[in-house]
Amino acid sequence: MIYRTETFSATPGWLVLSDGTAFEGEIVSSAALENQGVLAGGEVVFNTTLTGYQEVATDPSYAGQFVTFTNPHIGNYGCNDTDMESAKVRAAGIVVRDYSDIYSNYRATGSLLELTSAAGVPLFSGVDTRALTRHVRSHGALGAVIGTGSRAELAAAAGEHLTTTGKDLASGAGRGTRLAVPGDGPKVVALDYGMKTSIIRQLAQYFDLVVLPATATAEEVLAESPAGVFVSNGPGDPAAIDHSDAQLQGILGKVPLFGICLGHQLIAKAIGARTYKLEFGHHGGNHPVSRLSDRVVEITSQNHNYAVDRESLENAGVQAKVTHVNLNDGVVEGFALPAERAISVQYHPEAAPGPHDSYYLFEEFHRMVAEA
pLDDT digits (tens, 9 = 90+) for 217-272: 999 999 999 999 999 999 999 999 999 999 999 999 999 999 999 999 999 999 99
Residue 22 CB neighbour total at 10 angstroms: 14
366 is annotated as an active-site residue: no
Return d(Cα 336, Cα 257) in angstroms, integer: 10
Query: pLDDT (tens digit, 0 to 9) for every residue of the chain, 372 residues total?
Result: 667 878 888 999 999 999 999 999 999 987 777 778 999 999 999 999 999 999 999 999 999 999 999 999 999 999 999 999 999 999 999 999 999 999 999 999 999 999 999 999 999 999 999 999 999 999 999 999 999 989 999 999 998 899 999 999 999 899 999 999 999 899 999 999 999 999 999 999 999 999 999 999 999 999 999 999 999 999 999 999 999 999 999 999 999 999 999 999 999 999 999 999 999 999 999 999 999 999 999 999 999 999 999 999 999 989 999 999 999 999 999 999 999 999 999 999 999 999 999 999 999 999 999 998
Span 179-371: which CATH code?
3.40.50.880
Domain boundaries, the chain: 3-162, 179-371
The separation between CA 342 and the C-alpha centre of its own chain, rounded to angstroms, equals 22
From the candidates 79, 261, 283, 340, give the one annotated as an active-site residue. Answer: 261
| Residues contacting residue 269 through CB under 8 Å, at least 6 positions apart | 238, 239, 241, 244, 245, 275
79 is annotated as an active-site residue: no
Name the class of domain 3-162: alpha beta
